[in-house]
Amino acid sequence: MDLTKIQTLEATLAQTKKHQEADRGVQAEVQAYLVSSAGPEPADGEVRNYFLTKHYPDFDIDLQPSSSEPYGYNELETMFFEGTQKALFLKFSKKPDEAQQLLDTTRKIAESLATPFLHEYLTFIEKPTTDVTKKLKLEYLYEQVNKTLAQNRITEGVQIIGTGLALAQQMGDQKRELDFYSKFQYVLYECLNCPNVALSLGFFLFSRVSGYDRLRCWTHFHSGNACLDLKDFPAAKKHFETALDLAIQARYAYASMVMHERLALTYKNLDKINLAEQHYNESLTLGQSENIKPKLVLQNKVRCLMGMGLLKYEKACGTAVKPKEKQRLCQDAEKLYKEARELAREIQYAANEAAALSNLGDLYRLWYGQTNPEAKVFHKLAHEIYTKQMGLDEKVERVKWDHDHMK
């Protein structure tokens, strides 16, 4: 991947801080980079076999307001997008009557939500000129990029994003175009060490996502994470608070759980420890009480365990802490970090397994001295995961940190 222009943009934005003013120029460079990175479109048979085996929920739903437990915005929006995707596959499978029946149901959902964005998307789906085969390829690519990035196959993920973006623009599919840009916003700060470019791309997305509240929520999430990397904690707080408000309004339990964890980390960096603890507890409680996919709950638990360990670690770093109290805090932090590390390894959550190892290295240097051999081992293991398993560049701050402390 030739990242020269993206890295030049990052350096420029790091100096000017004009993230919002540069959003269109950044979007143009990102588009050019992604399209140049695009791979081949998937074969028709590959796409057909994938959707033949995909499970879809039933769409026989009651939209009457008299329902004792009315659906939340997020539940209805999920049903809308799953319904349109299934209708596309029915069209592809030469079942036009079944497809139309399902599209009629999705139209009722769009009407109940009164969101112009959904109506525009449905109109696009129903247009006679929309190539159903290509649209299914686009849906397939989006689901594949989610899996690829989750497995830390970054180069392949960027290639899929480029393929999907080019196809979405060719078809005029605004929704998927924005979705692929959103995926690359994550890659920019998480994998390519370009948080400034990620922040500018976020401003571009904000200008385009009117009515698409789910993506607006996640764009605030990604922008908040970029702000954390840039150590602009007040800005990160604003992004996460807005994302949490959107998630609560939409009854989007998973997003609410995640935003509480992000706010906890942000408050920790703002030295508001009590608020940090409250948000970690709220995040863990939501994971236990809401209907969220188990793996997502476990990933969030890993992040919360590490965050709570950091709270103990930073208290132990205080100059006024007495020796016995420091010992107790270090023991508590060690227990939390090790539990996070084991759980991350169990669920194959590489990035946070590495983070837990790195945190253990920092803790052991505080506890037993800067030259402690076990601390060096932890940093070395973290560095190996970052570089060999995840393929991160040595210039990434957390990778460099472990490199510098493993010797």
pLDDT of the residue at 113: 84
What region, left, alpha or beta, does residue 321 occupy, with left being phi > 0 and alpha being psi -120 to 50 degrees? beta
Total residues belonging to the chain: 407
Instruction: Tell me if 104 sits within 8 A of 90, measured CB to CB.
Output: no
Contact status, residue 287 vs residue 257, Cβ threshold 8 Å: yes
Task: Report pLDDT for 156.
Answer: 94
Closest by CA position to 27, among listed 173, 172, 200, 226: 200
Query: Measuring CA to CA, which residue among 261, 259, 298, 257 is closest to residue 280?
Result: 261
Tokens of 117: 């964005």
Domain coordinates in residue numbering, the chain: 1-201, 212-292, 309-407
- Look at the pTM and tell me if it is higher than 0.75: yes
What is the block-wise mean pLDDT of the chain (407 residues), using blocks of 10 residues? 89 95 95 94 92 75 54 79 91 91 91 87 90 94 93 91 97 95 96 95 94 92 97 98 94 94 98 96 94 92 97 92 94 98 96 96 94 95 93 86 93
Cα 101 to Cα 117: distance, rounded to the nearest angstrom: 21
Alpha-carbon dihedral angle through residues 174, 179, 182, 183, given to the nearest 10 degrees: -140
SS (H, E, C) 96-128: HHHHHHHHHHHHHHHHHHCCHHHHHHHHHHHCC
Among the residues of 250-319, which ranges form H helices?
A: 253-269, 273-289, 294-316
Q: Which of 258, 176, 187, 188 is nearest to 217 (CA)?
A: 258
Q: Torsion angle, CA of 245/250/252/258, rounded to 10 degrees?
A: -20
In CATH, which superfamily holds the domain spanning 212-292? Tetratricopeptide repeat domain (1.25.40.10)
Exposure class string for 81-107: b at 16+ Cβ within 10 A, else e: bbbbbbbbbbbbeeeeeebeebbebbb
In angstroms, the Cα distances linking 341 to 41, 355, 372, 376 are: 38, 8, 20, 16
